[in-house]
Amino acid sequence: MSQDTRDPFTYALSSNSAWAGYKSHQNPDFFPRLASGQSPSILWLGCSDSRCPETTILGLQPGDIFVHRNIANIISPTDINTSAVIEYAVAFLKVKHVVLCGHSACGGAAAALGDARVGGVLDTWLTPLKAVRNAHADELAAIRDDKARAVRIAELNVEAGVKVLMANVVIQDHIKERGLQVHGTLFDIGSGRVRDLGHGTGKPRAAAFGGGGAGDGEVIRGRHATLVFRSEGAGMQAR
């Protein structure tokens, strides 16, 4: 097997090995507990963008979030993929929060704003976002700054997506039966902050949708170790 860690996949495997060793060292129960089952409290619906990894940006852990991500976090009522994830997370896993998250500098938003053909199935996929753009054409055209315009269409896309979520019968039933909460949010890549836009069941809060996870309120004080990333591969230094 090649040990050339300049290859991204080889490096990723070496990084995974270091991470798994680090987590086990820090908390020997971590993986056995993870393997015993999942009870995430959040369903995250976000963009596939590599800069928006939900568990990482929320500072949470494997097991905390059930996830569906697609290009430009488009929530379409006829998309069976999104619908199946929602149904499983809400009706079976009984998550407490459904979080739809858009983000700044979204390529899908830029494509919809530019109205250029991307090609293949992508133009079809982006159709709902283009409809959002058309519905708010005047407001968007009045925004001179390109970045600000992209943020605004991302916000409008989240608002439209939350409306689709609130019309989902599974979500409606669980809001009534057990107080399921639905949130629309936006991740600002430039600052790393997730902002609650106040759509859905909740009002904007500074400390958004926290709590309720398997490790809620639990601080695990494990043995100290440091993850070290070198060009020749990643590793762990235990103390």
Q: Which of 47, 64, 152, 196 is catalytic?
A: 47
Residue 49 bears catalytic tag:
yes
Residue 183 main-chain phi, psi, to 5 deg? -130, 140
State which residue, 5 or 185, has the beta carbon closest to Zn ion: 185
Closest CA to 180 of 124, 98, 112: 98
Instruction: State which of positions 165-184 bind Zn ion (CB under 5 A).
Output: none
Query: Rounded to whole angstroms, what are the CA distances from 86 to 67, 103, 174?
Result: 9, 20, 11
Distance of alpha carbon 52 from alpha carbon 187, whole angstroms: 8
Distance of alpha carbon 28 from alpha carbon 185, whole angstroms: 35
Q: Which of 51, 69, 136, 188 is catalytic?
A: 51
C-beta of 69: minimal distance to Zn ion in Å? 9
Span interacting with Zn ion, options 26-34, 39-47, 169-177, 205-213, rule CB under 5 A? 39-47
Tokens representing 83 are 């619908």
C-beta of 161: minimal distance to Zn ion in Å? 13
Residue 155 touching Zn ion (CB under 5 A): no
C-beta of 103: minimal distance to Zn ion in Å? 5
Q: Tell whether 52 is in a known binding site.
A: no
The number of helix segments (H) and strand segments (E) in the chain equals 10, 7
Residue 52 bears catalytic tag:
no
Instruction: State which of positions 95-114 bind Zn ion (CB under 5 A).
Output: 106
Are residues 96 and 89 in contact, defined by beta-carbon separation less than 8 angstroms? no
Distance of alpha carbon 125 from alpha carbon 74, whole angstroms: 8
Single out the residue of 43, 47, 58, 180 in contact with Zn ion (rule: CB under 5 A).
47
Q: Tell whether 106 is in a known binding site.
A: yes
State which residue, 110 or 170, has the beta carbon closest to Zn ion: 110
Q: Tell whether 49 is in a known binding site.
A: yes
Tokens representing 167 are 């019309």
Q: Which of 52, 64, 68, 103 is catalytic?
A: 103
State which residue, 160 or 180, has the beta carbon closest to Zn ion: 160
Residue 68 belongs to what H/E stretch? strand 65-70
Residue 174 bears catalytic tag:
no
Pairing of strands 225-230, 42-47: unpaired
Single out the residue of 22, 49, 186, 236 in contact with Zn ion (rule: CB under 5 A).
49
Residue 106 bears catalytic tag:
yes
Alpha helices in 28-185 (DSSP H): 30-35, 54-57, 80-87, 107-114, 122-125, 127-135, 137-141, 146-166, 169-178
Q: Which of 49, 64, 133, 199 is catalytic?
A: 49
Residues that bind Zn ion (CB under 5 A): 47, 49, 106
- Numbered residues of the known binding site: 47, 49, 103, 106
- Which residues are designated catalytic? 47, 49, 51, 103, 106
- Numbered residues of the known binding site for Zn(2+): 47, 49, 103, 106
